[in-house]
Chain A
Amino acid sequence: DAGVIQSPRHEVTEMGQEVTLRCKPISGHDYLFWYRQTMMRGLELLIYFNNNVPIDDSGMPEDRFSAKMPNASFSTLKIQPSEPRDSAVYFCASSLLGTGDTGELFFGEGSRLTVL
């Protein structure tokens, strides 16, 4: 397995544009997480899914952010409209029920977003 796959790896856009980040979890994993990493705040949980259903979205900053998981092998995180303060590295991670309590999340390589 290639692990968690994220795209794009880098995205540079202008303020006001829509941004869509994509994630393919490890096959068979039933939990999917979206995190945002910044220098000031470290890793923040945005939202997580279990069996494609959103469980906790309390970390989503505001209505400009939305996330979907239409099937077990694909998730998107969308920002519309984007703002400079959204510039960060966005990580997707997945885990398997039964290992969830052991805390082993498998992370993708991240999508570095720069909003000008």
Chain B
Amino acid sequence: AQRVTQPEKLLSVFKGAPVELKCNYSYSGSPELFWYVQYSRQRLQLLLRHISRESIKGFTADLNKGETSFHLKKPFAQEEDSAMYYCALISTGRRALTFGSGTRLQVQP
């Protein structure tokens, strides 16, 4: 069975500081990994996916199969990055996402 672990419930940083939101997964096959974000009073939405190898709003995430990790990083945090972040996994042949428990990012001025 697949599992996604986000060890931090809350991460608080100051504006301009680097950010790293941790995500580890367990899955025996080749997973697809994603980050979803929920800003205050907005819907949960896709932030980025590992297959696209893209940078969205300055965030990047690299899939490390050896460490089974998919940490989300941003070199300089902005106040508008404050939100709830969920790491998620989709396994082969299954359409539903398995989410981690989420990390709340607070960026202080």
A residues sitting closer than 8 Å to B (CB atoms) are 3, 31, 33, 35, 40-45, 48, 50, 55-56, 91, 93, 95, 100-105, 107-109
Residues of B within 8 A of A103 (CB): 32, 34, 46, 49, 88, 90, 97
Report if A108-B95 is in contact (Cβ < 8 Å); known contacts: A42-B86, A42-B100, A43-B102. no
Is there an interface contact between B86 and A43, defined as CB atoms closer than 8 Å? yes
Kindly count the residue-residue contacts between A and B in the assembled complex, taking CB atoms under 8 Å apart.
Answer: 56
| Cβ-closest chain A residue relative to B45 | A107
Alpha-carbon separation in the docked complex, A108 to B97 (Å): 15
Alpha-carbon separation in the docked complex, A91 to B51 (Å): 26
Q: Interface residues of A: mostly helix, strand, loop or mixed?
A: strand
Closest Cβ of chain A to B1, distance in Å, is 10
Residues of A within 8 A of B45 (CB): 107
If A43-B99, A45-B96, A105-B97 are given as contacts, then 15 extra A-B residue pairs at C-beta distance below 8 Å, sorted by A number, are A3-B43, A42-B6, A42-B86, A42-B100, A43-B101, A45-B97, A45-B99, A55-B95, A56-B96, A95-B95, A101-B90, A103-B49, A103-B97, A107-B43, A108-B43
Alpha-carbon separation in the docked complex, A40 to B102 (Å): 10
Residues of B within 8 A of A107 (CB): 43-45
Contact of B46 among A3, A55, A105 (CB under 8 A): A105
Task: List the 3 closest A-B pairs by CB distance, nearest first.
Answer: A42-B101, A43-B99, A100-B95
30 A-B pairs with CB atoms under 8 Å apart are A3-B43, A33-B96, A35-B99, A40-B101, A41-B101, A42-B6, A42-B86, A42-B101, A42-B102, A43-B44, A43-B99, A43-B101, A43-B102, A45-B98, A45-B99, A50-B95, A56-B94, A56-B96, A91-B44, A100-B95, A101-B32, A101-B90, A101-B95, A103-B46, A103-B88, A103-B90, A105-B97, A107-B43, A107-B44, A109-B43
Residues of B within 8 A of A95 (CB): 95
Residues of A within 8 A of B101 (CB): 40-43
Residues of A within 8 A of B98 (CB): 45
Report if A104-B95 is in contact (Cβ < 8 Å); known contacts: A41-B101, A42-B100. no
